[in-house]
Structures are given as structure tokens and as C-alpha cells.
Structure 1
Amino acid sequence: MSADNPAVNHAAAAPLPESFHAGRFASKVVLITGAAQGIGWAVARRIAAEGAELVLVDRSPLVHDIAEGLRAQDVKALSVTADLETFEGALAAVTAAVTEYGRIDVLINNVGGTIWAKPFEHYAPEEIQKEIQRSLFPTLWMCRAAFPEMVKAGSGTIVNVSSVATRGLNRVPYAGAKGGVKAITSALAMEGAAHGIRVVATAPGGTEAPERQVKRGPAPEGEQEKAWYQQIVDQTIDSTLMKRYGTLDEQAGPIVFLASDEASYITGSTLAVAGGDLG
């Protein structure tokens, strides 16, 4: 593991929450996208402790440090760098997983995130396209790449990560992308049921996380951009019943539950994980 990257070193060694269930994913092959940081890393850490064999995918090479840290704890973890905004990248990730393990039992699609924060009339057309490319296509392409493997196996679970920001200020393109993730979930669940495949999603609200090693986009510049971003923060908190952001573990827990056999009679649903904000 990279000794010169204390943030990643800390991430790999962080203590597990008390609520994890040892052995829940024993003999399961789980592919997690966006696994280098944030919610994806929290899911990887928890699901590794529950016995899964992992495929960790990210566009950042930091994912290799995460995998190395887990392997040091006797976890089977393959790491893959790929651009999931393209079908070629998604297919490469799935191919690597199947080559290594022979199958994918669970796919957790976690890639996405707001790039800009501003009223819709201030978005340039190319910015709108980039938001959709970032937060819709990685899920769409990964589902397309992995679904045939699950159909051949006659089983599988896909957990997508949408957002309650489908109803929120200053993020219309991102809202459109995450609304698309929710639609993919409900529509693909109808197709998957006949093949023994469940497709579910969570819709996270605002989530506290360490500073990102790889930034989603430019930081707000100038007083106006900072004010627009503050509107997002204020609206996010005001929309929750609990009046706070969630934690990474509070997001990872529901994702891991939905991925598990305990949720075997749940498909086509999107669970809001946002302190009472339903989006």
C-alpha cells in the first residue's frame, strides 16, 4: 500500500461499524464501482468484512491502494481502473471480474456526483452533457455489461445508487441523471425477475465524507458560486427530518443490506436514505 498516501492508508485501516454481519457474503463475488473513496469505499470495507470476494473499480489509480490494503487483511480483492462513462470501460471491468472469478453475483453501481452547482439557466450545454455523462452512463453501461453474465448464471443482484437530489436546488442536470438511475432500476427489475435477478437502488441524501482525493469538479469560485452552493447545503439539511447530513456508514449499511440475501423479496424499489427526505 502506498506509504506516501495517508488518506488511503487511513481508509484501509479504519475500524468497522459494530453492525456488520460476518459471513453474510461468503462465497459471493461483488463488483463495486467508484470504490476508491466516499460511499463506494465504505461499501467495499464493510462488504469485505462480511466475506465477499471483491472487484473494485474506479477511474482513479487510488483503487489499487484500497485493494492492496484489503488484501493485507486476507481479503480477495481485484482492482480495475476503467472509464465507466464508456461502454468499453464497463465491459473491460466486467470482463476482468469474470476472468478472475468466473462470475459476478452482485453489482453495486456507485459512480456519479454533481460537478457544478448553479441555477439551470446558468448551465452551458456542454456542462449539462458532462453531468449526464458522469452520473447516468456509468450505471447504464455497467448494467448493460453485467446483465448478460447474470442472465447466463440465472441469478444476480444489482444495487444502483440514485439520489434524493432528484428534487433539489441548483442541480437540474444531475437530478435528471439520477432520475434516470431510478428509472433504470425499476425497468430492469421487470426484465431481470424472470432470470432470478434483483435490481434495487438507494437514494442517498447529503453525506459527510473526508475530502476527496479526486475532485468531482471545480470548487465554487466567487461569491455568487459560493452562494449557490450554500443554497444546496441549506436545502439539503432543511429537507431532512433529522436536520443533518448522514455518514458514510449510514449510506453503506442500506446498500449492503439490499445487496444481501436478506433482501431477497425486494426488487424494483429505490430506498431513500436521507434522514426522512424522500426526494
Structure 2
Amino acid sequence: MAQQEGRQPAQHQDTQPGREGAMTPRPQATRPEYRGSGKLRDKVCLITGGDSGIGRATAVLFAREGGRIGFVYLEEDDDAEETKRLVEAEGQPCIAIRGDITGRDTCRQAVERIVGEHGRIDVLVNNAAEQHPQQSFEDITPEQLERTFRTNIFGYFHMAQAALPHMKEGAVIVNTTSVTAYKGNAMLIDYASTKGAIVAFTRSLSQHLAGRGIRVNAVAPGPIWTPLIPSTFPADKVAEFGTDVPMGRPGQPEEVATCFVFLASGDSSYMTGQVLHPNGGTVVNG
């Protein structure tokens, strides 16, 4: 069951991306009460940012639904190995690929690795992201701006372009956006801007691919307890993280992963260009 406490222990990690293994408590990713029913049986699934947080939870539930899993991660080898172990414990194969999705060649090579093993891609989850808060808008450097856009939206373009030649009718793309795309964030202006771009990307690509029978949707999480949080904010902010939403607590990755299962499976067969909002009760009308 998802943790119900409102506050997390104060903590901070000095480098991004954060490490899930260093978090207290650990994010919940396996949702033990969830029973798979073959919704993704033999589907080949590629997930970016799959080593931890939402990506890990999605990989685990996809595997429980019968999916064959591949995921890309930046450099968090220990976290990636744990995700691989959890997926394989579900009885499914798993390929972990180390690389920076800001590079087009990395995306192409990742796709080639999965296609070389499985022959196709049925589900692409664009999930990797980074954020760097700034108290003042003027303090967002050109380097930060470019890096955030390269990770959070350019990487989605690169991965989709690399994967699409290997995706047939019935395939699915699911993008991770954020509640910040709809309500903004005073200290994450560049990050929120990329998340808004992902919404427009999702809607536009869905229209472009509808005639090919490929659906494109997105998930816009609210405050979710992932390594991005302690590696982004000071310890006192981490302790209060997520307590300002109506449900009074941060969500767990496993509470978001079910949205990805729904959008990746035939349960959502009449949905494309849409966004789901697991955000603890924030109404965004989007």
C-alpha cells in the first residue's frame, strides 16, 4: 500500500541525478497488491529514466503485465541493477542501457539494442527528466536552460524518432509531463516550460500518428517521492514536499505507474492526445 504519512524525513543528496538507494524511506515501486492480467503480454517496452522512481515502478508493473523490458539510465548503476533485478523477479527479460538521452546517437543506439534483441518496439515511455530550481529567473544560465531542454524535451523527440521506424499499428507512446505544465512553478521556470512543451508534443504527435494506428498519451504527475526530490531541494523543503496538495502527502511511484499501464494497454484503446493527472487532488482542468 502507498505510504500515507504527510512528511518525509529531512534529507538531501548533493548530486543529480539522485540515488534511490540513498533515500529514507525508499520510494514504493512494486505495489504488491497489484495483480497482472497479461495486458502487455509479449509487448516490447522501452523506458527512459527507468532506473528509479516512476520509471522503475513502471518497468515493474509492465513486467507484471507480461512486457519485455528495456530501459535507459544516465549513470546510476546500482539503482539500474536493482530495477533489472525487480523486473526479472517478475519473470520477464530486462535490458539496462547506460547513456545520456540528450544525445541523438544514444537514443538510436538504445533502440537498436532493443530491436536487435526483440525485433520491434511496442511501447515507448519517455520519462527521463531533470530540474534545477533558481530563486531568481535571472539566475537561469544559458547552460542550465539548454541542458534542461535537451533532457526533458529534445530527448523525447530523439527517442520517438529513433523508435518509430520499429513501431507498427497498435504501438503506443507515453510521455511524462508534470502538474507544473498546468500550474507553473516560480522556482522551476525552465523545467515547467519543458513540461508544457511535452503536453504540446503529445497532442501534436498523436494527431500525426493517428492514421498509422499509433497512440500517443501522457501522464502529468504531481509531487511524487523520487530521487529527483532530495537531489533537487534542501533538506527542509524535502521534509515538507507534497504536503500542500489536497491529499496532504506526496505520491509514490507505484501510484503513478498504474496510469502508464492503462495508457500502454488496450484498456485505453480510444484515447490518444490525452493526459492523466495523478497529483494528489490538484485540479488543473487540462
Give the TM bin, normalised by the shorter chain: 0.7 to 0.9
Deviations 1:118-156 (A, max 9, x none): 332222222222221222222121111112222xx2331
Counterpart of 1:223 in structure 2 is none
| CA pair 101-205 structure 1, distance change in 2 beyond 3 A | same
TM-superposed CA distance for 1:6, in Å, is: 10
Distance 1:64 1:94 in 2: 20
TM-superposed CA distance for 1:160, in Å, is: 0.3
| CA pair 206-50 structure 1, distance change in 2 beyond 3 A | same
8 A contact 1:200–1:266 mirrored in 2: yes
Deviations 1:132-184 (A, max 9, x none): 1222222121111112222xx23310000000112222100001111111111
Check if 1:264 corresponds to 2:281: no
Match of 2:42 among 20, 27, 32: 27
Match of 1:59 among 46, 49, 74: 74
Q: 1:192-271, aligned counterparts within 5 Å?
A: 192-209=209-226, 211=227, 220=234, 237-238=243-244, 240-271=245-276
Match of 1:157 among 172, 175, 195: 172
Counterpart of 2:282 in structure 1 is 277
TM-superposed CA distance for 1:243, in Å, is: 2.8
Distance 1:31 1:75 in 2: 13
TM-superposed CA distance for 1:72, in Å, is: 5.0
Counterpart of 2:187 in structure 1 is 170
* TM-score when normalising by structure 2: 0.81
Q: Secondary structure at the match of 2:175?
A: strand
Counterpart of 2:109 in structure 1 is 92
TM-superposed CA distance for 1:71, in Å, is: 2.8
| CA pair 6-111 structure 1, distance change in 2 beyond 3 A | closer
Distance 1:115 1:15 in 2: 28
Moved more, 131-140 or 171-180: 131-140
Q: Secondary structure at the match of 1:30?
A: strand
- Considering Cα pairs closer than 8 Å and 6+ residues apart, tell me whether 1 or 2 has the greater RCO: 2
Q: 1:76-155, aligned counterparts within 5 Å?
A: 76-150=93-167, 153-155=168-170
Distance 2:278 2:20 in 1: 30
Q: Secondary structure at the match of 1:43?
A: helix
Counterpart of 1:7 in structure 2 is 21
Give the counterpart letter for 2:171 in structure 1: G
8 A contact 1:17–1:249 mirrored in 2: no
8 A contact 2:29–2:57 mirrored in 1: no
Q: Secondary structure at the match of 2:220?
A: strand
Give the counterpart letter for 2:170 in structure 1: S
Give the counterpart letter for 2:279 in structure 1: A
Give the counterpart letter for 1:162 in structure 2: T
- Unmatched 5+ stretches in structure 1: 221-225
Distance 2:109 2:30 in 1: 32
8 A contact 2:63–2:91 mirrored in 1: no
* TM-score when normalising by structure 1: 0.83
Query: How many pairs does the alignment contain?
Result: 259
